[in-house]
Amino acid sequence: MTHSHSHDHGPAHPASRRLRTVIAAVLIPFALLVLAGLLALWPDDPGGHDRSGVGFDTQRQQARVTRVEEVDCAEVNAQSGKPPAKGGRPETCERATVEVTTGSDKGRTFKEIVTPDALRRYSTGQEVIVSYQPDAPPEVQYAVVDVVRSTPMWVLAALFALIVVVVGRLRGVASLIALAITFAVLVLFILPAIIQGSNPLLVAIVGGSAVMLIALYLSHGFNARTSVAAIGTLASLLLIGLLGSVFIGWARLTGSTDDFTGLIHSQYPGIEMSGLLLASVLIGSLGVLDDVTVTQASAVWELRQADPAAGWRQLYGAAMRIGRDHIASVVNTLVLAYAGASLPLLLLFTTARVGVGGLVTSELVAQEVVRTLVGSIGLVASVPLTTVLAALVVASDRPAGRRPGAASGSGGRGRRRKR
């Protein structure tokens, strides 16, 4: 999930050595703890793990549909031993001839039957993915499991990268690098470490913190403004983790609510599913958190440059007026993102005869409600947390050569002439 606004407010005003020392005293130990956590929790085999052989990790090959013909469904059912369809109405099925194009069985063909109610259809020349079960009878060793969609996915990724670079320029390049590192941390550390049996919450905190530090500093530069945003993000993550732990335990959410989570639990019983749910809450909120904290920190710095004489209370009040508008859009974004991800589930409950109370308190929906509300509380709290921290830091900063309370610009020179 991403939620981005432009934060390119120009270079941050140089901070004093005292301020840089204070911020470094907070962030350097934290960064060292994150590094130590990465080293301690790093999986033994980040590139792979024990194979379960239950569907996602079976042998797969590429294939091509060479012919599609219409056949009578009754004939197909008779050949396979299935009872004829009820109603006596003849139905037309499709029989696709598929040729394996990779692997040791390259050139081998098999038949795939497509019934009238099937969601996926095939056309001659279409590239598909087939699974291979060597221990199965020869006639059912191969089956189509997916279609090849590499071209549209790569074109979409290239279009995304092009637009980011054209609009964001150097910042856009930096954000793409940060995105690649985020993906690498997720694939090489977070997922393998959880599968290996490490505590999902601890892995999410360490991995999420590493992603946060890398993404923030790469995208927004090494300066005091980014550092304040990082501290605000960290504080909000800790709040989300605390609230998530309390309410997931209080609501007795198991984290195992569908076929995928049930499959994970059956194949890797050592994984704590409720901890995995909490980890997903943290990681899902992180993408919006850094946007909110950077926006608020940038707003305070811009307000300070516009009015150097403003105190921290004035800066906080003005920045919070910006933050309140941001809160409304961010919370709505998060709720819609979770609703969109759970739309098929919501459709099923809409058609079922279940009251609103039973709907919300069922584990399937309650899990998403807790995920959404806990994440939203953390996001809302990040606005005043980051704003007050940025206001205090900026108001207390005394760059070298500037006396406390001294005004800058021609107004200050005019007052000195009067004295």
**Residue 258 carries which DSSP code?**
S
Instruction: Please say whether the beta carbons of 30 and 57 come within 8 A.
Output: no
Instruction: Please say whether the beta carbons of 398 and 18 come within 8 A.
Output: yes
The residues, any chain, with a CB within 8 Å of residue 184's CB and separated by 6 or more, are none
Q: What is the pLDDT along the chain (419 residues), one digit of tens a residue?
A: 444 444 444 455 555 676 777 777 778 888 899 999 999 989 886 655 444 444 455 688 899 999 999 888 877 666 665 655 555 566 788 889 999 998 888 999 998 888 887 888 888 999 999 988 888 887 788 888 888 998 999 999 999 999 999 998 888 898 899 889 988 988 889 888 888 888 888 888 898 889 888 888 888 878 888 888 888 998 888 898 889 888 888 888 877 666 667 777 677 777 777 788 888 888 888 877 888 898 899 899 888 888 888 888 888 998 998 888 878 777 777 677 666 766 766 666 666 665 555 556 677 777 878 888 888 888 889 999 999 988 888 887 655 444 444 443 434 444 444 43
Helix (H) or strand (E) segment spanning residue 130: strand 127-132
Q: What residue ranges do the domains of the chain occupy?
A: 17-43+151-401, 69-147
Strand partners, 72: 92
Instruction: Please say whether the beta carbons of 296 and 384 come within 8 A.
Output: no
Whole-structure pTM over 0.85, yes or no? Answer: no
At 381, the amino acid letter reads A
